A and B are shown apart, each in its own frame.
Chain A
């Protein structure tokens, strides 16, 4: 009940409607714009939809600046609304973990409801040495174990570097969920197929950024091209020491963390 109320009151829905309206308006106005300011044809197509989208022009990844994350959980809520993720506490494309390290070095991690409702004040009996939030999502690995194990090839890497699931094709064996070292996959309770973060692929092909990136109030999530130089992500990776999660497994993740603590797994 509360969840329903919540989803209805999400400001994101309003924003989404706004974006839809804006896209529609742009669509109608696009020919006019092209005529007036003579945009290059490709850009106009990209803005108006998937028709002119060329996946070979892109290779996506995400940067996450731990220092900037305030644990508000808006990214989690936005993702659930945008991608039709069940609103319960056991299915997430993205979630936020809170690490509390006390003076004895004892580490406590929690993620109540995936961090979607924010976090209660931490219990800090031993005194706090440091604490921080870590947003998690599918790492869209360049060497993805989930893609390797899928018996029918229903999960695959796109040419633009996104790991997706074909829900018309998945047989629901759940081997991919077992193979993911990051707990990023889940089993859809009504569709009976494996599900995961798509980097909001439906938005990417329209030239938009993923919902979680769009709503982040502090800019903790930086989306963009991994291989091109003059992009926000490339700049983020130049300016920071970046790390990936569980590098020893050689999955070659494409979610890059700045200021990552060694305790994070």
Chain B
């Protein structure tokens, strides 16, 4: 502690779990928006990641409310947020935004996307797998030309609805913070927009990592056109994201309101590692330089003219650094917003728990859980283009 803080501010209220929540929803929104590139904007190069991105979004969305639930003082009363929502509260909308996104957007889109395959898998598989796929068809086994066209149209329309929904899902999380007028570090009209673009950045980077890692394990060749395109989009999204963050930063400095003194002090001391080093240098500048050099974002063939092998390594490295950077952004927003006193006269510290409900171990577990869910989803609904979907090829594969 340094300077004066109100006595009730000794305890930080929102810790690691609340850092995790916007991080997870950001990945969901970002992965979905990447998927929509192929579907709505016809960016054919990223097609190999389309289904993977959808399943990733679904896996992370299933886990996203868990850190919130674990953080509540009375999780057994959480259903009240659906039963008696306070319509004036930004947070009360959480349940509805979440349910809309899960049920109307993601589950429906995944189902329409996979329906044809599910029906074929149900015909080809035996035993329990057959039962599972038959259940997943929801009784809709018509594979006529007309019904397949309907699937396709439905999928496209859901994506069209899904893009604003993804914006809503994550922009809304930004609003929860941005609308707290008591907190000068949070209170900013740019907050939802900054959240949104950092979400897109983190989602693209995550799908890029997952696409590379999964293909490595399956020993399948990587589609370099797809990777180059992902890297370029990552670069463009980062440019917008950084510009917005800089705008916010310059605006604060220029307006120089009464909170500017304590906030500068906080950045120079408490947040130096997580904001200057991790978020700005390692999480933003380094990957942007790498991507700018080697991806075809600025010049076809890249400025650095690296080989495929080198580009793959650079992309993977950049994407991992981006993920670290975006996690740092969430940390700096959530924890940073509580490190200074609302008396604007002092700074406090955050003591992280190691074990315990809100500790580091729990956070790592909640970060690993979506990957586990994704693994199961991928087993049930293989997103790979090279997986056989017809009866004959399935049997061939079984016998081989």
Contacts and interface: CB of A to CB of B under 8 A. Distances in A.
Interface of A: 89-92, 95, 97, 107-111, 113-114, 136, 145, 148-153, 169-175, 177-187, 191-193, 249, 265
B77 A171 contact: yes
Contacts, number: 126
B98 to A, nearest CB: 13
B11 A178 contact: no
B78 interface: yes
Nearest to A263: B345
Nearest to A113: B7
B13 A152 contact: no
A29 B26 CA distance: 67
Contacts of A109: 3-4, 343, 345
A178 B84 contact: no
A89 B7 contact: yes
Contacts of A92: 7-8
B69 to A, nearest CB: 10
Given A145-B181, A174-B13, A180-B182, A153 B84 contact: yes
Given A181-B342, A193-B73, A249 B182 contact: yes
Contact of B73 (A91, A107, A113, A172): A172
A184 B75 CA distance: 24
Given A182-B342, A183-B341, A186-B8, A152 B72 contact: no
Interface string B10-46: 1101100000000000000000000000000000000
Given A175-B91, A183-B6, A184-B8, A265 B78 contact: no
B85 interface: yes
Nearest to A191: B73
Among B14, B81, B182, B342, residue most surrounded by chain A Cβ atoms (within 10 Å): B182
A36 B68 CA distance: 61
B89 A183 contact: no
Contact of B80 (A114, A171, A187, A193): A171
Given A151-B85, A174-B13, A90 B7 contact: yes
B8 A185 contact: yes
The 4 closest A-B pairs by CB, nearest first: A172-B73, A183-B6, A192-B73, A181-B182
Interface in B334-372: 337-338, 341-345
B21 to A, nearest CB: 11
A170 B84 contact: no
Contacts of A90: 7-8, 10-11
Contacts of B75: 171
